Structure 1
Amino acid sequence: MEKKLPEVAKHTALILILSTPFMSAVFADINKKENASVLPDTQKNLSITKSKVLAEKRQQLVTEAAEAVSGTQKAVEALEKNDPKTALSILQTVSGKLDIILAKAPSLALIPADIETDYFNFTGDSKAIKQELKKADDLLDSGKIQDARQILSGLASELSITVTNIPIGSFPVAIKEAVALIDAGKTEEAANTLNEVLGMLVKTTETIPLPILSAEALLNEASAMENKKDLSKEKSKEEIMKLTSEATNELQRAELLGYGTSSDYKTLYASIDDIKKTLHSDKSQTTWERVKQTLSELKNKLIHSKK
């Protein structure tokens, strides 16, 4: 006879599994595939929004910081090849790059030098998510925790952005120390110092729920639609209602996937419903501003950053 988990243990297991990041690359590959249950227009909006977010992050990168990191790596390689002259020349260039950074941003502690991204996307709609949760719930009831874990680990839709930063307080000092060691003929110690400084690089990861980004893009498009001159009020209302409906679907997906709780979404759903009442009226702008503000607050609350 199979043992059943008590209700408290079952729900604890659900929470632990759902909060576990990227459990398996296998599931990531499976869930990156498109799913017909999500509207093509929504997928298009999501793709555009992801590109925009990444472009904004890349704009924050400091060219000199990236060159300083790559230069430090090349200097280590030169020392390993017993070529201190080349290493010294490279490090002098690196020091120059760091001086430029200090002049540009003297108050910043961390200077972004590189960016890496990953995403994990379960593309099923709310119905598909509920079906997967039901399967997992039944498995937990039967005590099959690992089987449930495999299902739940795939229920995520998020973009992770990892930025590599130079700690500007310690990095330049360490580079100058390595230069002094090379001048003194202590190439092995210099290489160790450079490896240590590369180990000082600080990585920060920001995780953003994809359905929230998608809902934001859809609502922005809907807001702009109201003022399109080539559309009649009736036609624009039809298009706006379609976009807000898709946005609500995306928010429901986010809620079901465990990004926040139902109370986090309550005000936003109500604000979106108000659009129907105030569309093409003198209250419309105020409603849109409230929707965007509420969504922005939700997004900021749900974005997780870690070092």
Structure 2
Amino acid sequence: MLHLRLITPSDTTDDVVRLIGRTTGTTHLVVLPGAARNPSGDVVMCDVAREAGDELIGGLRELGIDRSGSISVENIDLSLSLRADKAEEDAPGEGADAVLWEQLSDATHEESTLTITYVAFLVIATMIAACGVVLDNAILIVGAMAVGPEFGPLAGFCTALVRKSPRLAWRSLVALLVGFAVAMAVTVGFSYFMDAVNLFSEGQLEADRPNTGFIYAPDWFSFVVAVLAGAAGTLSLTSAKSGALVGVAISVTTVPAAANAAVALSYGDAGQMWGSTQQLLLNLLGIVLAGTVTLLAQKYLWAKQRERTARKLTKS
């Protein structure tokens, strides 16, 4: 269930209440006339089944509540109410399958913004991965994958393609390109420093690396895994099951590939640098392709579900 708290101008409150009343899956309606001060107006609260949330939020935006007042949405962790149970039963489909597009856009907008914190995480992850590739240490590689924040801009780019939002697409692309460029540049300097203090050596990079050699040797499995991870990560975001994102992060080799390319560049190894770059691009392409297709499929299937529900209601 979702909890909505609305601030509505007094002259639109009745329209809002009617919209909530005719939306299947809503309950616990509360109206507090004149309770809001900034902006002034009425406070309207209700609970709505997740699967009906996108429809209701869309209707509220059509009434202009996001411009003249406010729309706040919270997840309800526990609701002990027969009315809430009935609302969820009446709402079409399953809550886990529903996509709250406004929530997804807001989340990916925040995650895909180029910030100092985002760049810092990506730089640290890439330097950890650099240690992993030189030492041929799979544990460090996995740790670097988990630290890397690059899935946020990738998800933002997929969302922008589906929602046809050029600004979000540009923001996400800038975060990816600038973030990886800075991370790789810093890692090149880090590699020079580690070599100067005799912690890195060209011999370690060129030696047989059974645990990390795959990073600069991309193949079809790299693309397949990236596609599967992209689909899983997108489903994790849209279903609010964030725990799956950790598994997604340690399934793709974006950060390790960037790190291997940076270290190879510092030692002038064009072969490893090109192979790692291919691995990086292949993973990015697979994630974007899978994420976009997954969102399109969810959008199509959910629209069909709503059409079937509408036909049933019309017949009854």
Q: TM-score, normalised by structure 1?
A: 0.25
Larger radius of gyration: 1
Higher relative contact order (CA 8 A, sep 6+): 1
